[in-house]
Amino acid sequence: MVGKHYRRLLEQCKIRMDRFEKEYPAPREDFQALLKERGVSRRDFLKWTSFMTAALMLPPIFKPMVTRAAENFSRLPVVWLHFAECTGCSEAFLRSSYPNVDDILLETISLEYHETIMAAAGDQAEKCLEDCIHHFPGKYVCVIEGAIPQGLNGQFMRLGPKGETGVQIGKKVTSKAAATICIGSCAIWGGIPSARPNPTDAVGVSKALGISTVNIAGCPPNTVNFTGTLLYFIMFGAMPPLDGQGRPIWAYGKRVHDFCERRPHYDAGEFVEQWGDEGARRGWCLYKVGCKGPYTFANCPHLRFNDHISWPVMAGHGCIGCTESGFWDTMAPYEKPIHEATFGGGERTVDKIGTVLTVATVAGVAAHGVLSAMRHGRTDKKDGTTTGAGKE
C-alpha cells in the first residue's frame, strides 16, 4: 500500500524529470555502459537503487525514478569551490577500495570546475568557471568545500589569477547557482579553521555570504549523503527538507546514539572504562571514553563509511560529533565525557568546581551557625529571655 501523498509526489517527480531531460544538456556519458565497463552488474545497480531509495526515506515505487535520476546525473552542471579547508571531503569522495555506484556517479558528474582534480590551470580554469556561470545561469549547482575567512577584510584568502577573496568568488558563483551545497563542517559553520581562537575569523558560507545553503555535514561527510541530495534535486527540482542547521533531514534526522550497534550495551550498563580493557574487547558502549553519539545527528550507524565497511564506533573509538555545529570546541574533550571539559587549561572540571563550592558552602554555613549562636545567643541572655540558639 502506498499513500496518496506518495503517488502525487511520484507524478510531480515524473514531470520534473521530463523537464530536466529537456532543459539540461545531454548526458556526457552513457551511465549504464559505464557501469558495465567498471564491472558493476545490472543486479548490483538495482541493489544500489533500492538502498538509495530507502536512504532517501522514499517508498519502493520511487526506485525507477532513482534509476532515471542516476542515469541523468551527468546532465547536472556542478561548480566545486575550495576555500579554507584540507580537501579531505573531496578525498573522501574520490578514494575508495573499489568503484561502487556512488563513486561512479560522482565521476560522471558534470564537474565544470573543481580546483583539485580539473586538468585546466590558470586562465583556462578561470574560463571554465566563467563559461559555466554564463551558459547555465540558475541551473548549475554550486558545491562549496571550506570556510571563508573574514579577517583583514577577507584577505586571509585570495584565490586565482585575479587574486579575488573568498567572499568575492563565493558571491559571484552562488548568486547565479540553482542551489548551494556546503560540503563538510568548514563550509557549514567554519569547521576547524574557525575553532578557538579562530585567528582568521573564518565563518561558514551561509554566514559569510548571507545565503541559505544545503549543508552536508561531517568531517568528512558520507558520500551517500551528497549523492542522495543531488539525486533528490534532480528528482524533485528542489532541495530536500532541512533541519535547523540546514542539513537534509533524510540524512541527519536521527541521532547516532539511537541507532548505534553498541546502544544495547549502554542501556545494559556495559561500558568501556579504558582503552584495551575487557569491555573494549567485547565491544561495549564507548560513552565513558568520550563517545559524543548522544549529541550528534547523522546516519553513520546506518550507512557507515568506505563502501559501508565500518564507521568510527564500529572501529572502536567514540563518535566525535563532527556533524554538529562547533563540534571542535563544544564536543571536546574527545576521549572523555562532555562534563569533563576543563576550564582555564588546568584540571578544573565542572564537577570538581561544584564539589569544592559545595564543601565551601557547607563549611561557610557551619561557621555562620557558630557565629550566629555566639551573637544571638549572648544578647538573648542579656535580654533575659531563653538562652542559646536552637532551643524551643
Interface with other proteins (CB under 8 A): 243-245, 255, 257-258, 264-271, 273, 278-279, 284, 287-288, 292, 294-297, 321, 324-327, 330-331, 337-339, 341, 350-351, 353-354, 357-358, 361-362, 365, 368-369, 371-373, 375-376, 379, 386, 389-390, 392
Residue 356: CB minimum distance to other proteins, A: 10
Residue (267 or 347) nearer to other proteins, CB: 267
CB of 88 to other proteins, least distance (A): 22
Give CA–CA dist 224/302, Å, rounded: 11
Nearer to other proteins, 49 or 299 (CB): 299
How many C-beta atoms surround the C-beta of residue 112 within 10 A?
19
User: Which of 80, 287 has the CB closer to other proteins?
Assistant: 287
**Alpha-carbon span 219 to 291, nearest angstrom:** 16
Q: Please name the residue that has the C-alpha cell 550566629.
A: 372
Residue with cell 524529470: 17
Does residue 63 contact residue 179 with C-beta atoms inside 8 Å? no
Q: 81 by DSSP, 3-state: which? A: strand
Least separation in angstroms between CB 289 and other proteins: 12
51/295 with CB nearer other proteins:
295
Distance in Å, CB of 250 to other proteins, minimum: 14
Set of cell numbers at residue 145: 568545500
CB of 385 to other proteins, least distance (A): 9
Q: Give 367's contacts (C-beta < 8 A, 6+ positions apart).
A: none
Q: Which is nearer to other proteins, 120 or 371 (CB)?
A: 371
Which region, left, alpha or beta, applies to residue 321 given φ > 0 means left and ψ of -120 to 50 means alpha?
left
Whole-angstrom distance, CA of residue 75 vs CA of residue 73: 5
Q: Which is nearer to other proteins, 103 or 324 (CB)?
A: 324
Smallest separation, CB 357 to other proteins (Å): 6
